[in-house]
Structure 1
């Protein structure tokens, strides 16, 4: 009988977590996203500067787009109290916004240092989040 109660308890907990967790969303992805720290291996060739600039601009655009998405989707109509409640979704979004601000600073640093590897690593971290964001708002990702 004791084992039956444990089994039902485990089933109940797992079924509740499955219902409340319908898949990872952008906030969850950004919460666990690690910003890449990449030391520059070699100086970028002059002919690679246009590629460097393009990657920098794409990263900056992606960061800006994610920030706008988060503010519109999760923060409109929230109260100041929610912002400071560590269990609220608004608080988690503010943490994500802080992480994105750091990503923007890192993007600029990599660009200023001509660190193509760092820019590409940041790009590879942001792209899955952008694709998930586009899917959530009904846009088809661009190839």
Structure 2
């Protein structure tokens, strides 16, 4: 059973990710961010997203059955929903980097700060 493998902190992290509002942040027209700042913020966000994704996959998706993934009441389904949300955030991170949108990158950074990787 999947629940036996997941700790309460894991479940809490999944719930926090699922409940996280993801807002689009438009770049300030007059704010010009230098490439180094944009790239540093992007890389920090990308590393954090990767850490969270890896943690969820390795700690909560061991020995998962297909039926669990499709069961909307299972932990596995919730983990996959959280992973999908992290993938959306990752796409936004990439878009903000391409656009030089430092405000968007910083918003993602702030959104990810309270999340803890599962143990």
Scaled to the shorter chain, the TM-score interval is 0.7 to 0.9
Q: How many residues are treated as equivalent by the alignment? A: 111
What's the TM-score, normalizing by structure 1?
Answer: 0.72
Q: Note the C-alpha offset of 1:44.
A: 4.7
CA RMSD of aligned residues (A): 1.6
In the alignment, the residues of structure 2 paired with residue 59 and residue 105 of structure 1 have an alpha-carbon distance, to the nearest angstrom, of 11
Name which of 40, 51, 66 aligns with 1:80: 66
5+ residue gaps, structure 1, are: 1-21, 138-143
What's the TM-score, normalizing by structure 2?
Answer: 0.86
5+ residue gaps, structure 2, are: 1-7
CA contact (8 A) 1:40 1:117 kept: yes
Q: Match for residue 104 of structure 2?
A: 118
Name which of 44, 62, 66 aligns with 2:48: 62
Give the 3 Å change call, closer, same or farther, for CA 79–43 of structure 1 in structure 2.
farther
Q: Match for residue 91 of structure 1?
A: 77
Residue 29 in structure 1 maps to residue 16 in structure 2: yes
